[in-house]
Amino acid sequence: MIREFKHISSKLSSIYSEQEAISITYILFEDLLGIKKTEIFTSAKERLTPTEKQILKNALNDLLNHVPVQHITGFSDFMGLKIKVNKNVLIPRQETEELVLLCQQHIGFKKLNILDIGTGSGCIPVVLKLYNPLLLVVSVDKSEAALSVARENAKANNADVDFIQMDILDEALWSSFQIKFDVIISNPPYVTKQDKYKMQKNVLDHEPEIALFVPDDDPFIFYRAIAQFSQNALADQGEIFLEINEYLGPEAKRLFENEGFREARILKDVHEKDRMLMVRK
C-alpha cells in the first residue's frame, strides 16, 4: 500500500507541486478506497486488492490528463461539508470559504433574509443556512444544470434553501422578489479572458467558463449589476459580501461608492491578497 501511495504521488509531481501531489494522493486513498491518511502508513493491511489497484490506476490516468481530483471523487470539501461537484459548477475554493466566514461573523444568529447570487454548487447558501437556521436563504443562478447540483447539495445536508433560476444581468427580472434582503453575498465571475493563460489546464478544461470569465472590456459587469440591483433589493443598513479579482479591488470599491453606497471596504485573504469586498447600504 505504501508503495502505491509513493508511486502515485511521484507521478503527480510531474504536473503538481510535491505537496499538492501528496495531498491529492491522500484524497484518492480516503475518498475512493476508504483508507484514511493515518492508516496508509500504520495499518496492518499491507497490500491493496486488484480492484483497489485498478481504481487508483484509473484515477491516476485521469489526473495526468488534468481532470480535477474533485471530479474523480465527485465531491469537494467545503468548510467541513462534502459538496457534490461536476463539470457544471465551480469547485469551491479557500477564498470562498473566507468570504463565507466573513459573512458569518457579521450576521451572527439573527433572523435575516439572505440572497446568494450565482450559487453554482450551492456551497455558500448551504453552509450559511446550517450555520444559522433562522436565516431565510434564497439562491439564484443562470444555469439550471448548476441549480440541479445545488439542490442536491442542499438536500444531502438538510439545508432549506430556495433555489431560483435567474440571470442577474437581466434587469427585467430584478423586480421579481417580494422581500428585501438584509444580506447579499456573491462569488461572481471576475476573471478576464486575457488572463486565461494564467490558469491551470485542469480549471480551463473542466470547469464552466460561464462561472469564471468576464469580457476584457467590461470586467465589472456582474458587480455593476449587483450594485444596481441592490439599490431596491437590499434593505436599509443591509450589507453585501463579494469575492473579487485581487488585481481590481480599488476599482470594484469605487464602483459601489459611485452607485451611492456609503461604505465599501476591501478585505484581504490569509495570503494578504485583496479578495473580498464588504459594502454597506
Q: Contact, 228 vs 206, CB < 8 A?
A: no
Residue 239 scores a pLDDT above 70: yes
This prediction has a pTM of 0.94
Residue 279 scores a pLDDT above 70: yes
Q: Contact, 273 vs 248, CB < 8 A?
A: no
Q: Grade residue 193 by pLDDT with cuts at 50, 70 and 90.
A: confident
Phi-psi region of 257 (alpha: psi -120 to 50; beta: other; left: phi over 0): alpha
Query: What digits encode the pLDDT tens for the residues 90-107?
Result: 999 999 999 999 999 999
Q: Contact, 130 vs 153, CB < 8 A?
A: no
pLDDT score for 195:
86
Q: Contact, 162 vs 137, CB < 8 A?
A: yes
**CA-based nearest residue to 223, from 194, 256, 193, 247:** 256
Q: Contact, 261 vs 272, CB < 8 A?
A: no
Mean pLDDT, rounded, for 227-243: 97
Query: What digits encode the pLDDT tens for the residues 117-172?
Result: 999 999 999 999 999 999 999 999 999 999 999 999 999 999 999 999 999 999 99
What strands lie across the sheet with 263-268, from one edge to the other?
162-165, 136-141, 113-117, 181-186, 234-243, 274-280, 263-268
pLDDT score for 235:
97
pLDDT score for 198:
80
pLDDT score for 190:
94
Residue 43 scores a pLDDT above 80: no
Q: Contact, 281 vs 237, CB < 8 A?
A: yes
For 148-173, b/e burial (b = at least 16 CB within 10 A) is ebbeebbeebebebebeebebeeeee
Residue 197 scores a pLDDT above 90: no
